[in-house]
């Protein structure tokens, strides 16, 4: 039996973005192992028949000695699990996992640099210092002869090829995590409500502060509008806000923080508009879910969001870091039911044709077949 080994930062991230593909691979005859920082989601993975190899890789850690120890531990894991394919997800697992895979020497490697992470979206001093180093390392790791790359949007694909990170023959675009259309029904919105919802971890580079400021502006014209923020703080991310900061936004304005929720289809059904003012994305799952749920979108005109939203077709794209323009777009949609309905229907069609889970699963399994034939 062919052995497939995923390496990802967090177990909850795997559940959110790769679980369906892992199940499909298992059904296709692969023996699936997963290395992740494990929390409460471990039981879900184990009950699905996956073999779990917990790791202690920190997403924000930069201590060379610690990272060398993590590298050696990953080599030990690969020698124990004996994978034929190693699928590395996100920047830190790629850097550590690709080197460990080369030392192990008996597997084909699939790298999935989803988004480009904090390092490539942040302008803070630490990110600026690390960017050249990470670029140097990635340019070598992604060009290993036994490596294939999966990227989530065309813009990142073009950047990686033009920057000589990877050859055109060794990279392909698979649009996001896929969406189960049976879970996200095309339900007409409640025309008696004015609910705007942002689904996101509470991170600075997701544009959360811009959403908070835009909500204050819109609320002057639409005092009955509700602005929901759905998602948890993520203290493992350098750009995360604290719970006390989020609570202060609630007390000072129209924002209602719902925290982490699992009833996303129901929350989408109860929303009129979905908003994501992110500074950079790979391909945001929340927006493809909004398309599937037949809801109009307001997002920023950045890589990743542009892959899901066509301005004036299924939503509005606004300049990044601009709460005023964000507020204008939300206000326009709140005041125009006909346009919202048109955008919503166009989004659903896009979900059916581009983002449905079977499409993503089929293309991912095709990559595995390709690397095994090399």
**Per-residue pLDDT reduced to its tens digit, 12-41:** 999 999 999 999 999 999 999 999 999 999
CB atoms within 10 A of CB 88: 29
| pLDDT at position 344 over 60 | yes
Reported in sequence order, the residue ranges of 113-162 that DSSP labels E, i.e. its strands, are 147-151
Q: How many helices (H) and strands (E) does the chain have?
A: 16, 13
CB 20 within 8 Å of CB 361: yes
Residue 356's pLDDT band (cuts 50, 70, 90): very high
Kindly state the average pLDDT of the residues 299-326: 97
CATH 3.40.50.2000 describes domain 3-177+356-372: yes
CB 173 within 8 Å of CB 154: yes
Please report the pLDDT score of residue 220 as a whole number: 96
Q: Which of 61-65, 233-237, 314-318 has the highest mean pLDDT?
A: 314-318
Please report the pLDDT score of residue 117 as a whole number: 52
Kindly state the average pLDDT of the residues 220-248: 94
| pLDDT at position 64 over 90 | no
Kindly state the average pLDDT of the residues 243-271: 95
Return d(Cα 10, Cα 5) in angstroms, integer: 15
Please report the pLDDT score of residue 252 as a whole number: 85
Q: Domains of the chain: which residue ranges? A: 3-177+356-372, 195-355
CA separation (Å) from 258 to 72, 78, 224, 246?
40, 40, 18, 11
| pLDDT at position 123 over 70 | no
Reported in sequence order, the residue ranges of 216-314 that DSSP labels E, i.e. its strands, are 226-230, 255-259, 273-276, 296-300
> Collapsing DSSP states into helix, strand and coil, what is residue 154?
helix
User: Where would I find the H helices in 163-242?
Assistant: 208-221
> Collapsing DSSP states into helix, strand and coil, what is residue 335?
coil
Kindly state the DSSP code that residue 241 receives in the 8-state scheme.
P
Kindly state the average pLDDT of the residues 347-355: 97
Return d(Cα 31, Cα 221) in angstroms, integer: 56
Q: Under CATH, domain 195-355 is a member of which superfamily?
A: Glycogen Phosphorylase B; (3.40.50.2000)
Among 215, 183, 220, which Cα is nearest to 196's?
Answer: 215
Kindly state the average pLDDT of the residues 63-86: 96
Q: Which residues pair with 255 in a beta bridge?
A: 227
| pLDDT at position 116 over 60 | no
Kindly state the average pLDDT of the residues 141-164: 91
Model pLDDT for residues 275-284, shown as the tens digit of each residue: 999 998 989 9
Q: Look up the pTM and report it.
A: 0.91
Model pLDDT for residues 187-209, shown as the tens digit of each residue: 999 999 999 999 999 999 999 99
What does pLDDT average to over the chain? 93
Return d(Cα 142, Cα 159) in angstroms, integer: 13
Return d(Cα 5, Cα 16) in angstroms, integer: 17
Q: Which residues of 109-128 are buried (b: 16+ CB within 10 A; e: fewer)?
A: bbbbbbbbbbbbbbeeeebe
Return d(Cα 51, Cα 32) in angstroms, integer: 7
CB 92 within 8 Å of CB 111: no
Please report the pLDDT score of residue 14 as a whole number: 96
- The fraction of the chain above a pLDDT of 70, given in percent, is 97
Please report the pLDDT score of residue 124 as a whole number: 67
Kindly state the average pLDDT of the residues 37-57: 96
Please report the pLDDT score of residue 114 as a whole number: 79
| pLDDT at position 119 over 60 | no
DSSP 62-82: --HHHHHHHHHHHHHHHHHH-
- The fraction of the chain above a pLDDT of 90, given in percent, is 83
Q: Which residues pair with 86 in a beta bridge?
A: 5, 109
Return d(Cα 59, Cα 92) in angstroms, integer: 6
């Amino acid at each position: 039996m062919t052995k497939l080994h995923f390496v990802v930062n967090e177990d909850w991230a795997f559940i959110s973005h790769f679980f369906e593909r892992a199940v499909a691979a298992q059904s296709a005859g692969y023996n699936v192992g997963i290395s992740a920082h494990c929390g409460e989601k471990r039981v879900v993975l184990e009950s699905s028949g996956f073999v779990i190899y917990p790791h202690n890789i920190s997403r924000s850690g930069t201590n060379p000695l610690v990272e060398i120890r993590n590298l050696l531990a990953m080599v030990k894991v690969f020698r124990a699990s004996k994978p034929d394919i190693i699928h590395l997800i996100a920047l830190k697992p790629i850097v550590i996992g690709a080197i460990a895979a080369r030392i192990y020497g008996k597997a084909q490697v699939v790298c999935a640099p989803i988004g480009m992470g904090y390092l490539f979206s942040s302008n803070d001093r630490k990110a600026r210092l690390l960017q050249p180093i990470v670029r140097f390392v990635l340019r070598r790791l992604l060009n290993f002869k036994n490596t294939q790359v999966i990227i989530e949007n065309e813009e990142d694909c073009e950047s990686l090829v033009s920057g000589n990170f990877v050859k055109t023959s060794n990279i392909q675009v698979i649009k996001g995590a896929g969406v189960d259309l049976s879970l996200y029904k095309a339900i007409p919105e409640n025309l008696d409500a004015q609910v705007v919802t942002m689904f996101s971890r509470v991170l600075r580079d997701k544009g959360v502060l811009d959403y908070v400021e835009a909500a204050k502006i819109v609320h002057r014209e639409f005092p009955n509008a509700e602005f929901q923020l759905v998602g948890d703080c993520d203290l493992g991310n350098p750009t995360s806000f604290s719970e006390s900061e989020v609570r202060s936004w609630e007390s000072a304005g129209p924002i209602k923080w719902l925290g982490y929720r699992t009833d996303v289809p129901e929350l989408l059904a109860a929303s009129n508009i979905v908003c994501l003012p992110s500074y950079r994305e790979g391909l945001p799952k929340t927006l493809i879910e909004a398309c599937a749920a037949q809801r109009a979108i307001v997002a920023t005109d950045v890589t990743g969001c542009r892959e899901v939203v066509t301005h004036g077709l299924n939503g509005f794209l606004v300049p990044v870091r601009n709460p005023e323009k964000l507020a204008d777009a939300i206000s326009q949609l709140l005041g125009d039911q006909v346009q919202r309905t048109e955008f919503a229907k166009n989004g659903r069609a896009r979900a059916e044709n581009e983002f449905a889970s079977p499409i993503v699963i089929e293309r991912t399994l095709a990559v595995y077949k390709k690397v095994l034939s090399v």
